[in-house]
Amino acid sequence: MKIATWNINGVKARIDGLTRWLGEAEPDVVCLQEIKSVDEAFPAEAIERLGYNVATHGQKGFNGVALLSKRPLEDITCRLPGDDDDAHSRWIEATVSTDTGAVRVASLYLPNGNPVDTDKFPYKLAWMDRMLAHAQELLATDEPIVLAGDYNVIPEPKDARFPDRWVDDALFQPESRSRHRALVNLGYTDAQRAVSRDEGIYTFWDYQAGAWQKNNGIRIDHLMLSPAAADRLSGVNVEKQTRGWEKPSDHVPVVVTLDV
**Active-site residue identified among 57, 180, 222, 251:** 251
Phi and psi torsions of 215, nearest 5°: 55, 40
Point out the catalytic residue in the list 52, 57, 109, 134: 109
What whole-number distance in Å separates Cα of residue 19 and Cα of residue 96? 21
What distance in Å separates the CA atoms of residue 134 and residue 111, rounded to the nearest whole number? 16
Question: Is 134 among the catalytic positions?
Answer: no
Annotated binding residues: 7, 34, 150, 152, 250-251
Alpha-carbon distance of 70 to 99, in angstroms, equals: 13
Which of 177, 189, 184, 179 shows the shortest CA–CA distance to 223?
A: 189
Q: Which residues are annotated as a binding site for Mg(2+)?
A: 7, 34, 150, 152, 250-251
Count other Cβ atoms within 10 Å, centred on residue 176: 25
Return the closest-CA partner of residue 173 out of 219, 112, 250: 112
Q: 10 Å Cβ neighbour count for 86?
A: 17
**Residue 251 bears catalytic tag:** yes
User: Tell me, what DSSP letter sits at residue 154?
Assistant: -
Active-site residue identified among 57, 134, 150, 151: 150
CB contact at 8 A, 66 and 36: no
- Please give the biggest Cα pair distance in the chain: 50
List residues bridging with 258 in a β-sheet: 233
Which amino acid belongs to residue 160? A
Q: Tell me, yes or no, if 150 is annotated catalytic.
A: yes
Task: Indicate which residues carry an active-site annotation.
Answer: 109, 150, 251
